[in-house]
Amino acid sequence: MQFIKTAVAAALATLAFSASAMTPIQDAELSTVSGQDGVSIAANLNIKINSFTYTDTDALDASGFGGGSVSFNGIKVNGLIAANIDILSKASFLAAAGAAGVTNPGTFYNPATGGDVVQIAIPASVVADGHYLNVSVDSIKMGNSAASFGSVAMNQIDMRGTTVWIFAH
């Protein structure tokens, strides 16, 4: 009885492997295949930057002005972001650019010879509605001073509806 069970299991496993085996497909057959186009990306951002420092390298003048630095310390970016990535034809891109209010795409894209365009779009509605990006800076200091001017926070940065286009030229 055990032998029969083992033989049946082996036969079923062989059928499953052969049924799922990859087989080549010819170009003519491939042209009839359709699927979902585009790629979606979602991220829960948790970025920490120790500091961002701006330094003015001008020499001190007779009044003692010039030079110095300001640093932004403990920078954090967190929140959810989602984006869809699609390839647009020239005609689709020009239509999308027009719908977005671009009146003369010829200033940055050649409508006569331009090709496909990559579109990155942050959807107007995302799964985690209400969980937008937040940016904070723990302290702002001048030069080597230990004293801080305070902190800065930008909360609930809503990027829904934003579209970015990437193309070669």
CA distances for 31 relative to 20, 21, 25, 34, 136, angstroms: 21, 21, 10, 8, 50
pLDDT along the chain (169 residues), means of 10: 52 50 69 66 83 86 82 89 87 91 88 89 68 87 87 85 77
**What's the pLDDT at 46?**
85
**What's the pLDDT at 130?**
61
**What's the pLDDT at 3?**
53
Separation of alpha carbons 20 and 33, rounded Å: 18
**What's the pLDDT at 72?**
92
**What's the pLDDT at 94?**
92
Q: String of b and e for 105-139 (b: at least 16 CB within 10 Å)? A: beeebeeeebeebebebbeeebeeeeebbeeebeb
**What's the pLDDT at 129?**
57
